[in-house]
Structure 1
């Protein structure tokens, strides 16, 4: 039996060189076609990197009192020891210039409560960064730097035009190494990762690592179509799943930060949940159920009730609670909006004067 198996093995091995030689021209041709399909990112990287920056931040962190010392004779001793003491915490991220006048976009979590921000360009030029404004709901921040000459700036692209499978280029400051680029494709769109009510991330397999946060994600035209924000990684390094805030969402936020230093969003003052049409495929939506109405809220003043079912905003169909929250948030506070609702199964309409979203509101 072992001898017979050996002959079979040898016979198999004897065939391999013949098959390999016969297939070589075809394999080479296939490799040639594949090489033609993979883009060369060199020109693109050379064009965009001068506008991509590394961001270093310094924060002051005070030592918290251990809970077991509170109310004991040691509490006073601890406070006296810590008076005037603070620990400097360093951090790093990425960003990019959107205006030659010196406006730089990055992530809110990169800046945090930094006491000092330093912006460094690929050519080694360094500038102090001043915070213009930040928005924690989309994790975006806008900085301003003062440069003696106009800075190279990037243009926004349309994230809505992206298709799954499109090539993208990510640039930033991974692990504090400075200007680096990685490439990949759009893996998915509209990802919700539990970051907040405005989750709408672009997923990419372009390697994104710690330090890439706040850096741009480019399409092949060199336009910014996303801001690299988060990764999914059991190890803390790239696992081929990165997330970027889409440019169509980011652009409006950045415009507001630039204009007033803050973002104002519309708000109804309701808690909501999805309604699924019985028998509908894939959980198709049938409107949004009002699960609760906050007392004194815009919704309460307009007569919206618990149990009402919102099906449209200004005639545009609403199928999910997330779509309702986003739709209302996009309306300028103080404006009137027409809601189409079902009340006890009967269609009706209500006009609501949209309020200003407070710091810690109800979902809607």
Structure 2
């Protein structure tokens, strides 16, 4: 207990110093927070965790008991996250990993009202999900802004449910744009130093106009708490995903059916996506792509990396035909491929 009180002292001193800082031209977030917080929600999730049998239980009397528990659905696990209302009728945006395989989702609005929520759909590649609640009336809502207009160094405010403490806001700046943190082919994160902690996932990152320019998704944290490096999905990437989930509850993405790597990593001088394998019966196989082909362009646009190829293909609607330019046996040639629908676990 004394240690915790000691940690609170610097925070209190910093708060006392803020009026002087405001006089030096630093922004005041009070009006912004008052305007947007009614549209920010806390999300409580109940899910069942499936576990593997520990090796030490094999062949013991406990093995039977363990397997019986698993058949009954596993252990109940509680989780928490954040979200924001995008339509007054009760449509909420959050992270896909917040709701996961939830058996029950409860949304608590800023005024403390609880609603049972239904998952409309989610998209694994962008880690976004859409929820629906049935409110008693019209709810406060916020809109997606244009993340591409944001510049490094601009002020932002994060809002959400850190550590279960709903209705919290933090402020900071945009530290970087276009971050690739290895989460997937659509990595294009906004990096911010606004403190983001466990429970903030799925919450909004606002610009000073009160528009959502990012969805807080991940943190870099050796300690498990904020280290001043947080990552948000840009609103420009989220917008078409939200629209697709609203239309049909899913995002249909394009698929070639190849495994690829960067050409320069394989000792090639020419940049591009090197085909390492082709799945049997896939669109790529039907079009005649082969292992060893080097894809250097799609519809005339240069392809510099394997990630670029996977991302470009995933962004296409299934059924569309594209023209791939590739190098095979030292010679350039073009192949037309009709894009398929991407399975959940495919690379490209």
- Structure-2-length-normalised TM-score: 0.86
Query: Which residue, out of 255, 267, 271, partners 2:255?
Result: 267
Pairing 1:357–2:345 present? no
Pairing 1:152–2:140 present? yes
Shift in alpha-carbon separation, 1:82–1:108, aligned structure 2, 3 A: closer
What is the alpha-carbon root mean square deviation over aligned residues?
2.8
Q: Secondary structure at the match of 2:176?
A: strand
Q: What is the Cα deviation at residue 142 of structure 1?
A: 0.8
Query: 2:42 maps to what in 1?
Result: 54
Query: 1:235 maps to what in 2?
Result: 223
After superposition, where does 1:166-181 map in structure 2 within 5 Å? 166-181=154-169
Q: What is the Cα deviation at residue 312 of structure 1?
A: 1.8
Residue by residue over 1:77-126, the C-alpha shift from the partner in whole angstroms, topping out at 9 and shown as x without a partner, is 55568886864322111000111121101111211222221111111122
Runs of 4+ in 1 over 3 A off after TM superposition: 31-37, 60-88
2:48/2:73 contact within 8 Å kept: no
1:188/1:203 contact within 8 Å kept: yes
2:293/2:328 contact within 8 Å kept: yes
Shift in alpha-carbon separation, 1:212–1:284, aligned structure 2, 3 A: farther
Q: Which moved more, 1:348-357 or 1:190-199?
A: 190-199
Q: Which moved more, 1:240-249 or 1:80-89?
A: 80-89
1:170/1:206 contact within 8 Å kept: yes
After superposition, where does 1:266-305 map in structure 2 within 5 Å? 266-276=254-264, 286-305=271-290
Pairing 1:194–2:182 present? yes
Gaps of 5+ in 2: 1-18
Query: 1:206 maps to what in 2?
Result: 194
Pairing 1:95–2:80 present? no
Shift in alpha-carbon separation, 1:162–1:87, aligned structure 2, 3 A: same
Query: 2:152 maps to what in 1?
Result: 164
Shift in alpha-carbon separation, 1:308–1:99, aligned structure 2, 3 A: same
Q: Which moved more, 1:170-179 or 1:300-309?
A: 300-309
Shift in alpha-carbon separation, 1:270–1:32, aligned structure 2, 3 A: same
Query: 1:330 maps to what in 2?
Result: 315
1:107/1:214 contact within 8 Å kept: yes
Q: Which moved more, 1:341-350 or 1:52-61?
A: 341-350
Q: What is the Cα deviation at residue 296 of structure 1?
A: 1.8
Shift in alpha-carbon separation, 1:113–1:347, aligned structure 2, 3 A: same
Query: Which residue, out of 206, 212, 222, partners 1:218?
Result: 206
Query: 1:120 maps to what in 2?
Result: 108
Q: What is the Cα deviation at residue 70 of structure 1?
A: 3.4
Residue by residue over 1:227-275, the C-alpha shift from the partner in whole angstroms, topping out at 9 and shown as x without a partner, is 1011111111110000111112212222222222222110111111223
Q: Which moved more, 1:193-202 or 1:50-59?
A: 193-202
Q: Secondary structure at the match of 1:115?
A: strand
2:96/2:129 contact within 8 Å kept: yes
Gaps of 5+ in 1: 1-30, 278-282
Cα distance between partner residues in 2 of 1:116 and 1:127: 11
Query: 1:16 maps to what in 2?
Result: none
Residue by residue over 1:121-152, the C-alpha shift from the partner in whole angstroms, topping out at 9 and shown as x without a partner, is 11112211111112222221111000121211
1:285/1:320 contact within 8 Å kept: no
Shift in alpha-carbon separation, 1:39–1:284, aligned structure 2, 3 A: farther
Query: 1:313 maps to what in 2?
Result: 298
1:169/1:206 contact within 8 Å kept: yes
- Structure-1-length-normalised TM-score: 0.83
Report the number of matched residues.
330
Cα distance between partner residues in 1 of 2:20 and 2:327: 60
Query: 1:110 maps to what in 2?
Result: 98
Q: Secondary structure at the match of 1:257?
A: helix
Query: 2:7 maps to what in 1?
Result: none
Shift in alpha-carbon separation, 1:338–1:37, aligned structure 2, 3 A: farther
